[in-house]
């Protein structure tokens, strides 16, 4: 048999594979989501996220130091708000002494080089479990944007590096940019969850924060009027370009693994860094299969992350940040 070229030549040995490898992961590719609760000495495993914990702030500082020491350079904290602090308009979200604001201050104080991207959405603070304010049975966009702007300013005041709106309201990036310019926070960046889908893969996260939409009459039971329809691809480009035009420094596609086509398309049309969020349900699937011996957990973790980067992610928010970094460090 005569073949003009044999493609297997480039796969013959590990050294050859290394010199032609197109994508290489490093710990700086990862951003670690962290869950924070009130109290001291609290560390609780999240049942639907085996191996992942909610921490009180004192223990979280240790955890973030460890993340930094393995090479992770960014975290995205999420707080679990006490039920008696929840209301419809999310008042607790801009409390200068709220758990998120204290988390930002303490982490920046203890590990100043660790980048913090704070979640901006009302769901942890909403009695209804929605990212926005409910008026006459629907989510009121503009009133929500006003509340989110107050929330962003309070995160900026606490010292955050980037605010990360995950709410999918229209016009919030422009509102934050304007507020930052007007209030001398022009060093604070915006990482916008630009193409965020109404996905069932967020289930374990909502368990972790007790933030699932409630089942009440006259209250929407899901987030489909603001998060995107999983059926749509062109719309992701529109959403992303809108956020960049409004002033977003970085954009995100979320979830990751079932949306790699979206990630690639977004990567191809924008010039800003693109993040992808390997969400709680993706983590849970890999962990569950690994626990059952159905998949090799470590290899599934590394392959999933590599493929998310190959698809176009500059930064990957992942619950595997620490474990994967340890493996990469050898
Ligand atoms: C809040 C928010 C959610 C996630 C990140 N920020 C949940 C949601 O939109 O319902 C999900 C993250 C994950 O599943 O890992 N707006």
Supply the DSSP string of 102-125, one letter for each residue.
HHHHHHHHH-TTSEEEEEE-SGGG
Query: Which residues, other chains included, contact 140 with Cβ-Cβ below 8 Å and sequence gap of 6+?
Result: 132, 133, 134
What is the 8-class DSSP label of residue 216? Answer: -
What is the 8-class DSSP label of residue 42? Answer: -
In this predicted model, what pLDDT tens digit does every residue of 52-73 receive, in sequence order?
A: 999 999 999 999 999 999 999 9
CATH number at residue 101: 3.20.20.70
Domain-located, residue 3: no
User: Can 224 be counted among the known catalytic residues?
Assistant: no
Domain-located, residue 306: no
- Model confidence at 218: pLDDT above 90: no
Tell me which of 33, 123, 200, 287 to substitute to probe ligand 1's pocket, judged by most ligand atoms within 8 Å of the beta carbon: 123
Q: Is the whole-model pTM more than 0.85? A: yes
In this predicted model, what pLDDT tens digit does every residue of 145-204 receive, in sequence order?
A: 999 999 999 999 999 999 999 999 999 999 999 999 999 999 999 999 999 999 999 999
Domain-located, residue 48: yes
Instruction: State the pLDDT confidence band at 119, using cuts at 50, 70 and 90.
Output: very high
| In contact, 115 and 321? CB cutoff 8 Å | no
SS3 of residue 126 by DSSP:
strand
* Percent of the chain's residues with pLDDT above 70: 100
Task: Please tell me the total count of domains within the chain.
Answer: 1
Q: Is the CB of 280 under 6 A from ligand 1?
A: yes
Q: Is the CB of 205 under 6 A from ligand 1?
A: yes
pLDDT for position 121: 97
- The sign of the dihedral angle between the CA atoms of 158, 162, 166, 168 is positive
Domain-located, residue 206: yes
Mean pLDDT of 4-14: 98
In angstroms, the CA 106 to CA 111 distance is 8
Instruction: State the pLDDT confidence band at 82, using cuts at 50, 70 and 90.
Output: very high
Domain-located, residue 68: yes
Domain that holds residue 234: 24-252
Q: State the average pLDDT for the chain.
A: 97
Residue recorded with tokens 């973790």:
301
Q: Classify residue 95 by burial, with Cβ atoms within 10 Å: 0-12, 13-18, 19+.
A: middle
Domain-located, residue 11: no
Domain-located, residue 105: yes
Domain-located, residue 74: yes
User: Can 196 be counted among the known catalytic residues?
Assistant: yes
């Amino acid at each position: 048999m005569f073949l003009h070229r044999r493609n297997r030549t480039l796969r013959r040995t590990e050294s050859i594979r290394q010199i032609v490898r197109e994508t290489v992961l490093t710990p700086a590719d990862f951003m670690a989501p962290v869950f924070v609760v009130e109290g001291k000495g609290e560390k609780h495993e999240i049942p639907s996220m085996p191996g992942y914990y909610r921490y009180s702030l004192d223990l979280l500082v240790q955890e973030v130091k460890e993340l930094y020491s393995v090479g992770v350079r960014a975290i995205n904290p999420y707080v679990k708000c006490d039920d008696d602090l929840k209301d419809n308009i999310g008042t607790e979200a801009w409390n200068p002494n709220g758990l998120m604001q204290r988390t930002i201050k303490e982490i920046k104080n203890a590990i100043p080089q660790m980048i913090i991207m704070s979640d901006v959405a009302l769901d942890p603070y909403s009695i209804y479990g929605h990212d926005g304010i409910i008026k006459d049975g629907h989510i009121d966009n503009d009133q929500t944007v006003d509340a989110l702007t107050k929330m962003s300013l309070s995160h900026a005041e606490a010292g955050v590096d980037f605010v990360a709106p995950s709410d999918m309201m229209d016009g919030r990036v422009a509102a934050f940019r304007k507020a930052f310019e007007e209030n001398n926070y022009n060093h604070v960046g915006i990482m916008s969850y630009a193409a965020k889908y109404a996905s069932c893969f967020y289930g374990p996260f909502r368990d972790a924060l007790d933030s699932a939409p409630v089942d009440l009459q006259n209250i929407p039971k899901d987030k489909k009027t603001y998060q995107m329809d999983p059926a749509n691809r062109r719309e992701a480009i529109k959403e992303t370009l809108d956020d960049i035009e409004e002033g977003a420094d970085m954009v995100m596609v979320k979830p990751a693994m079932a949306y790699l086509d979206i990630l690639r398309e977004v990567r191809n049309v924008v010039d800003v860094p693109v993040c992808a969020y390997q969400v709680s349900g993706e983590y849970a699937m890999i962990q569950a299969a690994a626990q059952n011996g159905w998949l090799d957990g470590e290899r599934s973790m590394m392959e999933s992350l590599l493929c998310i980067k190959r698809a176009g992610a500059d930064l990957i928010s992942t619950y595997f940040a620490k474990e994967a970094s340890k493996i990469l460090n050898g």
